[in-house]
Amino acid sequence: MARPRYHVVATLPVAWWARRRLGNVGVWALVAMGILIDGDHLADWAWMRVTGRRDKFLSPLHSWELLALTSVTAAWLRRGRPRNRGVVAQAAAGIAFGWWLHMFQDLATNRPDHAGAYSIVNRIWHGFDRDSSGWKGHKTFHQWGNTPWWTWL
Ligand SMILES: [Zn+2]
């Protein structure tokens, strides 16, 4: 499972590498999205606490569609501008870059049945059901929900 500490290890070198291209705001946005996006698992945690079941994958930001929308927006904000573009464009580029990095790391290490497991449309279509949306056979799926929060890191 891609725990936050592994996202830190993967994200910080990339942020260092990208610092001149993205600017300060962009780098901090990259770091935030590369690491903190997993905060959306709190939706799953809330589901598990309320129902006692691990049968849903909610995590709304683990979504190719939202990532694509953000990436298109970032590219649109960046169009035709020099390297020192506006703060909003820097932030959008950093968010998109960190998000891609996080999603590929999750895909590679969490190993869902298919990449569509991270499609919000797919999950909505399947009622956010864990097994039919791409996590069938993952016996340890969201097992962290039953452990103290400090072990999640
Ligand atoms: Zn993640």
Tell me the pTM. Answer: 0.89
Q: How far is the CA of 146 from the centre of ligand 1 (A)?
A: 18
Contact 101, 11 (CB under 8 A): yes
Q: How far is the CA of 59 from the centre of ligand 1 (A)?
A: 8
Q: How far is the CA of 121 from the centre of ligand 1 (A)?
A: 17
Give the pLDDT band of residue 79 (cuts 50, 70, 90).
confident
* Domain spans in the chain, listed from the N-terminal domain onward: 4-133
Q: How far is the CA of 76 from the centre of ligand 1 (A)?
A: 26
Residue 139 burial (10 A CB sphere; 0-12, 13-18, 19+): exposed
Q: How far is the CA of 38 from the centre of ligand 1 (A)?
A: 5
Whole-number pLDDT of residue 145: 78
Residue 140 has pLDDT above 90, yes or no: no
